[in-house]
Amino acid sequence: MSIQDIQNDIIDEFSMFDDWEERYQYMIDLGKTLPLIDEQYKTDDNIIKGCQSKVWVHAQLEDEKVVFSADSDAIITKGIIAILIRVFSNQSPSDIIAANTDFIDEIGLKEHLSPTRANGLVSMIKQLKMYAIAYQTQLN
């Protein structure tokens, strides 16, 4: 499934909810399905800088696809990283690098986050793309 297809699915899912309380609950539920990072990767090196909460992300290259795992100490943040990992995990580095993240605006996520959480969201996207750039360099 392409990144755009996954983003479209997420837009459709969020459109089913009438208000942001339901959407936050959905994000919390998504966080519970997150492929959790192995405890050995919960290190300072894997913490995303710029997040109010602690968010750990680990990436590895498998069959020329980037596979992400993550965790957070905050339930909403865990839901946010779960959405991003759903979009970007098991995709090629070049597809991750080229992907836009307009779906975040389409579901209204950024406007419903506190400024510090919105900054954290940007930091998460930036870090996932940085992993993709590093792996793309290895593949070339």
What's the pTM value of the predicted model, to 2 decimals?
0.94
Q: Which residues, in sequence order, are CB contacts of 41 under 8 Å at separation 6+?
A: 56, 58, 69
| 139, pLDDT greater than 90 | no
**Per residue in 32-89, pLDDT tens?**
988 789 999 999 999 998 877 899 999 999 999 999 999 999 999 999 999 999 999 9
Among 119, 35, 114, CA closest to 78: 35
Query: What domains are there in the chain, each with its CATH number?
Result: 3-139 (3.90.1010.10)
Q: What pLDDT does residue 125 have?
A: 96
Q: Pull the structure tokens for residue 91.
A: 């995709």
- Residues taking part in catalysis: 51
Q: Which residues, in sequence order, are CB contacts of 35 under 8 Å at separation 6+?
A: 68, 69, 70, 85, 89
Give the C-alpha separation, 41 to 2, whole Å.
27
**Per residue in 76-132, pLDDT tens?**
999 999 999 999 999 999 999 999 999 999 999 888 888 888 889 999 999 999 999
Among 137, 9, 15, CA closest to 83: 9
Q: What pLDDT does residue 114 have?
A: 84
